[in-house]
Structure 1
């Protein structure tokens, strides 16, 4: 491995088709606290946490084979001293000497957007270089003509559909649930689309005197296609959760619905991360399933933060996923924060933890405004490219 790649400010490793580590750069070795001899020739599982090992087999391996690449996969590495290291992974298989090898770039989650933009720029430059190398000038000129034509059509489309998009946005916002405030619980939310329409959707419902259902979903992508899927899912989970259907069956129905939408059109395939909670204020229990979604935070009365990590792959990825819920008890005075990754792009998870810790006794209405102010402040130096949504819950 050359010196520049070996000391790059990100992790790099090459895997065999069987998941054997063929090479690994010094930057990643330093991050994990290993020597090259300790990892070379070992299975990738040797540096993955137990949940990440399962996620690797269920999500990473099939994606490499089906899509011939992996983009923006969240996983967790484990260092030599047992510390968890959250990373975002991009991977690309390559044929070398008749064998398939998988090159992987691993980027720490902090300042994710800056790194993502750098990767996207590098990817576009590589694609442009390949086009310049393999295409004749005549083909390039024809492509430019087609691009101009498409741009012209796109401008006409934007003008003709502006009113329709605004109406669709109003319908989408109207479908969102209002805050819930009573003697047992208070639920507040924030929602802002990056464009006219959003791929984020949520709902929270009082099922009976003591039970409340909360769900937060993030459909891949943005814009019209994602918004249509969110509205389709919304009508389904609103009916199920309002009737008190358990979290397992809710997630199974949503998963089946996504598979039924795209079973005859793989090109239109979308998946969705989701977290679904059932809160019983009488028993003081929380039942939850996290399907590939960023971990929610539970702040107990002592101020300690607990994370509700992902328990299954995102819905709509693989058929036959078993959705198993986790249940735990809470003490009155605890607080929950659920969010989509559009919030942790400008504000990393550590910043959210700090906001919760420093404002434990602040009302969630004021805490909500404080988080929004932090998001707005960051956006002066950050180009927002994702929908933003979070839910705050006070368990009285």
Structure 2
């Protein structure tokens, strides 16, 4: 990016067709309080407010595709410290090296209300001057009438935008409550103790889990992470949730559950590759009579089994994520265990801030504490790391003690 654009008195960025930030000038980086390496190749949603993310999908993307340009689109950015920054956006797609890139110019409008007040004051002064004269300048009268119309239109538009923002916030809050209501409660009995933690990076999450007692000695557990964040990922997680809840609760075999979830994703996107999403998942069946853990890991971070001696073992496999390739065969792995072991399942939102070394250290150093205490220590460590790295992702983990 040349120096003139990099230091221009307006924001400039270039997006890929799927919304990744390819270029961004220093003016916009300074406004958002980010460094270049923090935003390069990140999705545009990472610098949009939640209502603006929805507005981006419903209006910006269709305008770029069908109108081949965007002019004077009002939206809101979000800085690294959470400040909302209103901007006016113009965009124009271009073909470079055989691929579509979208150049965007963003103008902050913090001073907008001040300018509107100045216009109102000028209007009042002009009206007083006109009343003091015997003759009214017809050209000035026409200008003032046009100004009234524009001000009325602007007021109506602002009211519509505010109502849209309020309604969108309410809808997202309701969707968040529905999503959290679907999560299962802890299971505690003489055989097993299961706890979980769930924290969405936005109002809605792409992570989902469930654990169910099938009979007196069998327990089904599943943890999924749908690609991406926000509304689209959350909708997919909810459709998957209703499916795996029904299958696992009926005692359907682990490989059959995974195959049906895989088929469901392929059916969702068979006619729309642009909307395609994949999903990592780990699914387990614990039999406390047989003392076995049968599991399938489809592209998910490996679960960790800590035996009664404190040794750690990964529940790993080479199966690709759900929704990637059709016709995959899902094979169940079996792990025998002895009493006193502990199981830890998690999504990549846990390992990204903690790292595998810190995570294994936490498990080793807290083998003798209850899983409730371990859960609190992991949560506190996540919060400490989040403050240090200033980057958030959906976070979810499950702890299981086998007594």
The counterpart of 1:271, out of the listed 263, 266, 278, is 278
Counterpart position of 1:365: 372
Offset of residue 328 of structure 1? 1.4
How many pairs were matched up? 268
| Alpha carbons 2:187, 2:195 under 8 Å: kept | yes
For 1:367 and 1:392, locate their aligned partners in 2 and report how far apart those are by CA, in whole Å: 9
Offset of residue 157 of structure 1? 4.4
- The within-5 A match list for 1:95-134 is 118=37, 120-121=39-40
Offset of residue 155 of structure 1? 7.4
- The within-5 A match list for 1:11-26 is none
SS of equivalent residue, structure 2 residue 304: strand
Offset of residue 122 of structure 1? 6.8
For 2:289 and 2:161, locate their aligned partners in 1 and report how far apart those are by CA, in whole Å: 55
For 1:334 and 1:287, locate their aligned partners in 2 and report how far apart those are by CA, in whole Å: 15
- The within-5 A match list for 1:86-235 is 118=37, 120-121=39-40, 145-146=72-73, 148=88, 157-235=164-242
Offset of residue 68 of structure 1? 12
For 1:122 and 1:311, locate their aligned partners in 2 and report how far apart those are by CA, in whole Å: 27
1:332 aligns with 2:339: yes
For 1:205 and 1:281, locate their aligned partners in 2 and report how far apart those are by CA, in whole Å: 14
Shift in alpha-carbon separation, 1:255–1:384, aligned structure 2, 3 A = same
User: Could you tell me the TM-score, scaled by structure 1's length?
Assistant: 0.64
Shift in alpha-carbon separation, 1:271–1:332, aligned structure 2, 3 A = same
For 1:213 and 1:171, locate their aligned partners in 2 and report how far apart those are by CA, in whole Å: 22
Offset of residue 383 of structure 1? 2.1
Q: What are structure 2's unaligned runs of at least 5 residues? A: 1-15, 21-34, 44-68, 75-87, 91-105, 107-157
Offset of residue 120 of structure 1? 4.6
Offset of residue 381 of structure 1? 1.4
Counterpart position of 2:387: 380
1:308 aligns with 2:315: yes
SS of equivalent residue, structure 1 residue 302: coil
Shift in alpha-carbon separation, 1:161–1:187, aligned structure 2, 3 A = same
| Alpha carbons 1:197, 1:224 under 8 Å: kept | yes
Shift in alpha-carbon separation, 1:312–1:267, aligned structure 2, 3 A = same
Shift in alpha-carbon separation, 1:222–1:117, aligned structure 2, 3 A = farther
For 1:310 and 1:145, locate their aligned partners in 2 and report how far apart those are by CA, in whole Å: 50
**Cα shift readout 1:316-369 (whole Å, capped 9, x = no counterpart):** 011111111100100100000000000111111111100000000100000000
SS of equivalent residue, structure 2 residue 342: strand
Counterpart position of 2:327: 320
For 2:379 and 2:325, locate their aligned partners in 1 and report how far apart those are by CA, in whole Å: 35
Offset of residue 270 of structure 1? 0.6
For 1:296 and 1:310, locate their aligned partners in 2 and report how far apart those are by CA, in whole Å: 10
Shift in alpha-carbon separation, 1:267–1:212, aligned structure 2, 3 A = same
| Alpha carbons 1:200, 1:217 under 8 Å: kept | yes
Counterpart position of 1:255: 262
| Alpha carbons 2:386, 2:392 under 8 Å: kept | no
Shift in alpha-carbon separation, 1:300–1:117, aligned structure 2, 3 A = farther
CA RMSD in angstroms, aligned pairs only: 2.6
SS of equivalent residue, structure 1 residue 380: helix
Shift in alpha-carbon separation, 1:123–1:290, aligned structure 2, 3 A = closer
Counterpart position of 1:107: none
Offset of residue 213 of structure 1? 0.3
For 1:117 and 1:237, locate their aligned partners in 2 and report how far apart those are by CA, in whole Å: 41
Shift in alpha-carbon separation, 1:215–1:155, aligned structure 2, 3 A = farther
1:346 aligns with 2:265: no
Shift in alpha-carbon separation, 1:302–1:380, aligned structure 2, 3 A = same
**Cα shift readout 1:214-242 (whole Å, capped 9, x = no counterpart):** 00000001111111100100000001001
| Alpha carbons 1:194, 1:384 under 8 Å: kept | no
